[in-house]
Amino acid sequence: MFGSTYYKTAEEQFRGLLDTVNTASVEGSLMYVQAEGIDVTYQSVACQRKNKMKYVVFYDIVFTQTNETLAEYEDEYGSFLAMDGGRCNQVNGTESEECLSLNGNSTLGVPNVGPFVGGSLKETDARAPYQNCWWYSFPNTCPLQPWSAKTAECRASTRQGLCDANTLPDGIKCTYNYRVLGYVPIDDVVGITSLQNKAKTATYASYSEFCTEGGIEFKTDKDTKAFVESIPFWDNPTDTSANTKRTQTLLKVYEDMLTSKTSSQITSDVIGNMKSLPAVADLVTENPKCYENIKKCATTTHGCKRDLYGQICTVCEAAASGCEVAPSSFKFPTLVKATVTSSSEGSASTGSSSASDGSTSDGNTPAPTPTSTSSAASLAITVGALIASLGLSVLMG
């Protein structure tokens, strides 16, 4: 098991890797690196990628939405919420209704939908158009405060998104859990650590070393935004087919690293704790039928299908392999949206089948008490990715 290197205890290290953050599909992780992280024209610190990005981390994630989420969004995911520094981002300096709905706020008339996993398709960025590019949001306790301000009281007074280690989500007590399969250096993926230095005495150890000697990983023109130059890996950045091949290269470099147990920046002992990504076919088999979790998939003529590591359900326009139609006897459950109820204390409180008490993130209200009502959603599995600046700790267990 892997955990964050920013914390001391195993519990904190486990929580720290998926604690109110955004992740992406495998395709989406490279899209983020390409669009946001590597253009030397926009570097705020010379020879340093944005946010010091260094690794692509692969996650095996399980989640179950609250009934209120299913009723509100009628999909397997809620709205994608941008998250930075451990908090759900404000909009123009104000908490958005979606962020408030993670725990509800009766004073502002926002119902308690719960800590829903959000998702949004991001295929149309002109800088890096990747097919099947999804970004996800994973809200945990105290989602309106940054990591530095998350007190124990604040965490205790808000609903859990991330489950305790080794606990499966039920859509009531918590909505998601994860394990890190492994991680791979971006420098290895893009080929920088295979390039010889100017003296021809060795290959580059890192992007920083490559850049310091005058190397350009990727550059656009500041005025026209046009592509200027790059290392071979990033050639044809606006071509979707080329971007698909880049995704395939990422996966191959990771699997080759596991086989050889060698990397320019990760020790063989650490690599030995990593796992291969599961086969897509196995994910499809293990996941619930789309019609079991998504209302529209229970009624569409040709059914829905899951595909790729993201396992996103898509509506089939015609009968095809992988498309599954709901049996005539199947009826999608009728679910009730969360409603705002009065609160004598003025704290967030909503009518909810997943929890009897909504709560604010100020630490003044008691922890919510779940009811015995179960989520209507079946446990879903997805493989996602996150860009990290540091390696991970190996946790026991």
Q: Is residue 317 part of a domain?
A: no
Number of independent structural domains in the chain: 1
Which region holds residue 308: left if phi is over 0, alpha if psi is between -120 and 50, else beta?
left
Q: Is residue 117 part of a domain?
A: yes
pLDDT at 341: 67
DSSP string, 208-273: HHHHHTT--SEEE-TTT--EEEE-GGGSSTT-HHHHHHHHHHHHHHHHHHHHHT--SSS-HHHHTT
Q: Is residue 15 part of a domain?
A: yes
pLDDT at 2: 87
43 vs 205: CA distance, rounded Å: 20
Enclosing domain of residue 346: 2-185+275-290+327-394
Distance of CA 278 to the CA centre of its chain: 17
Alpha helices in the chain (DSSP H): 10-15, 26-32, 67-73, 97-100, 152-156, 186-190, 207-212, 240-260, 268-271, 280-286, 290-293
DSSP string, 153-190: HHHHTS--SBPPTT----SSS-SEEEEEEEEEEHHHHH
Q: Is residue 241 part of a domain?
A: no
- Please give the chain's pLDDT, 397 residues, in tens: 788 887 888 899 999 999 999 999 999 999 999 999 999 999 999 999 999 999 999 999 999 999 999 999 999 999 999 999 999 999 999 999 999 999 999 999 999 999 999 999 999 999 999 999 999 999 999 999 999 999 999 999 999 999 999 999 999 999 999 999 999 999 999 999 999 999 999 999 999 999 999 999 999 999 999 999 999 999 999 999 999 999 999 999 999 999 999 999 999 999 999 999 999 999 999 999 999 999 999 999 999 999 999 999 999 999 999 999 999 999 999 999 998 865 433 333 344 444 333 334 433 333 333 334 567 888 889 999 998 887 665 654 3
Q: Is residue 33 part of a domain?
A: yes
Q: Is residue 214 part of a domain?
A: no
Residue 151 DSSP symbol: -
Q: Which amino acid is at 100?
A: L
Element (H, E) at 314: strand 312-315
pTM over 0.85: yes
pLDDT at 358: 36
Q: Is residue 88 part of a domain?
A: yes
Per 3-state DSSP, the chain is made up of helix, strand and coil in percentages (nearest 5) of 25, 20, 55
Q: Is residue 299 part of a domain?
A: no
pLDDT at 392: 64
Distance of CA 336 to the CA centre of its chain: 27
Q: Among candidates 132, 150, 197, 124, which has minimal Cα distance to 15?
A: 150
pLDDT at 349: 37
